[in-house]
Structure formats: structure tokens, C-alpha cells
Amino acid sequence: MFTAEEVVAKIRECETAGGNPMKITPQRRLIFKALEGKTTHPTADDIYREVKDIIPDISVATVYKTLNELVKLGILLELKHDGEQSRFDPRTDQHSHLMCIGTRTNEKGRAVPCGRLEDVSTSFPQLTVPEEEQRGFQVAYNEVIFYGYCPECQQRLGK
Amino acid sequence: MFTAEEVVAKIRECETAGGNPMKITPQRRLIFKALEGKTTHPTADDIYREVKDIIPDISVATVYKTLNELVKLGILLELKHDGEQSRFDPRTDQHSHLMCIGTRTNEKGRAVPCGRLEDVSTSFPQLTVPEEEQRGFQVAYNEVIFYGYCPECQQRLGK
DNA sequence: TTCGCTGCAAAGGGTTTGCATATTG
DNA sequence: CAATATGCAAACCCTTTGCAGCGAA
């Protein structure tokens, strides 16, 4: 939940590990813009393909590096929950996710996950681990993921 | 939560997609044994290294294929929540997990996740997605992951 | 005897890295 | 001007696949 300009402003305030704030390059500005207001949880490759239309010789490496920086700064959330590509979420407030577990068959006859991922505004800070099962862990936060079938997969799979 | 023999028995009852039950080979029996009662959530490679001591020329491919079969049969749970290797859990009843978010620096000076993963007996079937956020999804189940620092990482990182 | 399984090595896919060069602050 | 970022290609890591021969039922 941010605009590209807000990201630029936030970055100018921040310090990275090295001590200096990230530099703002045209490539990065474009990546921020691509993330702006997105609720689709794009993959790095989604972002890459989108910015490539404007700066055709941008490299995937640049996209990955930039996204990783934003994650480190806490401006972006990285979701790595299906064993597939990471997905990125510009929304960083406490919320949950709803993920589709349907699969479809690709050209090579292989099952590929639908992977549709949606935000759910609710969070569940009240959930706790029973004392006797904490094993000395210092719990920082929790995450709730709801799994199910999206409307398209219900129809396709006859669920 | 099973013994190798229970797995064998369960498999003999099952039918695979092809119609016939999986065959029980010495390699597979050994893999079942390696999983028996394990609460450490081993990776495929952990299992591979363990069985390799007994059948030295077993291949990783065999381990992966066998684990995947067990997952398909619902005898084993695959956890793919850190973007790292999948971890396997012989416990298939409803439960939650506690994962360490600490990192350590490896020989190459890179941050690698601790990744310690523990079972938590509690599950939270009562959690639901507000109607207006379901977007037509048919929710099947949910998963709760508690993140925090394990005792070792607390000490090492001074948390 | 018939499928399914094995080990091997190669392919796959997503992500990261190393490096020479170009840019930002 | 110093410190970072860029693009490229190669490297990485985990996992899967294709295949010829072997072995369970």
C-alpha cells in the first residue's frame, strides 16, 4: 500500500547495512511504480515483464536486487508459501492470505498450481502457542493462511 | 506419527492413480523407517543422507519420488514455507508450526536461515475469512505458523 | 510376466553472484 | 569523486525427468 513517491521518500530516510541509503535509479523508480497499489501479489518475473516494456534492456537481476532491498527495508513483504516463485506484497500491515490449491495441467501434461493469492484484512494477534509447547522460542508474530479453491478452479475441477 | 510397518500396511490398501498400489522395495522400507517417529521435519536430503549409510548407492531421485508418493497418499505432510528446501512431517493430524526466523552467517559470509521447525499441537479450525473477503473461494482448511527465535538464535543474536 | 522401481546423469526453474561499466548523490 | 547500481552470463540449489535395466507381485 504505497505510491512510488512514498517509497522514494522512505528510502531517503533509511540507511542500509552499508550506512548509505539506496540510490534511486530510473530502473528502481519504475519497479516502485509497478508495485504501486498492486493487490495481485506479483512474482519477480511479473514485475520484470512489466518494466521491460518501458526499459527493454533492464535485467532480471536488477529486479530481484531491488525487490530484495525493499523487503529488507520492510517496505515490501515477500511471500514464499507454495514452494513456487516468491510473491511480493506491497501491503505490509498485519493481514492474512487466501490461497488457491487448485491445479491445472499445462502443455507438457504436468500439474501446475493455480496459486491465486488474495489478501484478507483480518489478522489474528490473539493466537498463541501453549507455554508447554514453546520450547524456549520467543514468538514474534504469526501468520494465517486459508487454503481453498478459487471460483475458476471450482468450476474447472468440478468442486 | 507412524511406524514403517503401518506405512506398508496402509500402502497395500491404497490404489495409486495407475490403479495398483506402490511396490514395497528395500529402499522404500528404509525411507519409511527413517521417517518413523521423526519430529525434526527432515528435508529430502536429510533422509537421503540417513538411508545412504545403509544402502550406499541409493539415489536422491528415489528418495524424492518416494516422499512425493507418501505425500500424495496423505501419509506424509510436505511443508514448503521458508523458500528453502521442503520439509516433511510424518504427523498428519491438524496441528500448527513454530518456525525460527533467526539467521546465521555461513563460511561464505552469507546469511542462512536457522529454519528450526517445531510442531505445536493446537489447531485453529474456528478461524474464518469474513464473507465479504472470500471472493467466491471455497475455503478448505487453514494453517497457522508462529514465527520467532529459537533459544540458540536468541543467544547468538542477542535477542 | 508385467509393471513399476531403481540409479544415473542431465535438465529444469527460480534466484543469486561476480564482474566490468555506467550512474547517483 | 566515491560508492552503488546496472546488465550480462554463469553459477547455484533444490527438485524432477528420461531412460535402460532390475525386481516386486
CA distance B25 to A97: 41
Please report where in the chains the cell 475455503 appears, as a residue: B139
CA distance A128 to chain B (A): 8
CA distance B117 to B41: 7
Per-residue pLDDT, A95: 95
Q: Is the CB of B68 under 7 A from strand C?
A: no
Nucleotide in closest CA–C1' contact with A80: C14
Per-residue pLDDT, A141: 95
Return the DSSP state at A51.
H
Task: Give the model confidence (pLDDT) of A62-110 as tens digits.
Answer: 999 999 999 999 999 999 988 889 999 999 999 999 999 999 888 777 8
Which stretches does DSSP call E strand in B74-116?
77-79, 87-89, 96-100, 103-105, 111-113
Interface contacts A/B by beta carbons within 8 Å: 126
Q: What is the mean pLDDT of chain A?
A: 92
Per-residue pLDDT, B131: 95
| pLDDT, average across residues B36-59 | 96
Nearest to B140 among A101, A120, A121 (CB): A101
pLDDT at A113 over 70: yes
pLDDT at B16 over 70: no
Which stretches does DSSP call E strand in A47-110?
77-79, 87-89, 96-100, 103-105
| pLDDT, average across residues A144-151 | 96
pLDDT at B139 over 80: yes
> Which residues lie below 8 Å from residue A5, measured CB to CB, with a gap of 6+?
none
Confidence of residue B46 (pLDDT cuts 50, 70, 90): very high
* Start-to-end CA span in chain B (Å): 33
Per-residue pLDDT, A16: 57
**Per-residue b or e along A84-121, where b marks 16 or more CB atoms closer than 10 Å to that residue's CB:** eebbbbbbeeebbbbbbbbeeeeeeeeeeebbbbbbbe
Task: Give the model confidence (pLDDT) of A16-67 as tens digits.
Answer: 555 678 999 999 999 999 999 899 999 999 999 999 999 999 999 999 999 9
- Give the closest residue to A144 by CA, choosing from B100, B146, B143, B148: B143
Q: Is the CB of B56 under 7 A from strand C?
A: no
CA distance B20 to A28: 54
Per-residue pLDDT, A158: 86
Give bridge partners of residue B145 from the DSSP assignment.
A143, B97
Contact B28, B7 (CB under 8 A): no
Per-residue pLDDT, A143: 96
Per-residue pLDDT, B140: 95
pLDDT at A125 over 60: yes
Which of A77, A129, A159 should be substituted to probe chain B, the one whose Cβ sees the most B Cβ atoms within 10 Å? A129
Give bridge partners of residue A96 from the DSSP assignment.
A120
Contact B102, B157 (CB under 8 A): yes
- Give the closest residue to B112 by CA, choosing from B122, B96, B100, B98: B100
Nearest to B148 among A82, A137, A144 (CB): A137
pLDDT at A111 over 70: yes
CA distance A144 to B127: 9
Per-residue pLDDT, B114: 93
Task: Give the model confidence (pLDDT) of B108-135 as tens digits.
Answer: 788 889 999 999 999 999 999 999 999 9
CA distance B90 to B45: 16
Per-residue pLDDT, A2: 85
| pLDDT, average across residues B35-46 | 96
Compute CA distances B154 → B39, B60, B149, whole Å: 22, 34, 6
Task: Give the model confidence (pLDDT) of B70-122 as tens digits.
Answer: 999 999 999 998 888 999 999 999 999 999 999 988 877 888 899 999 999 99
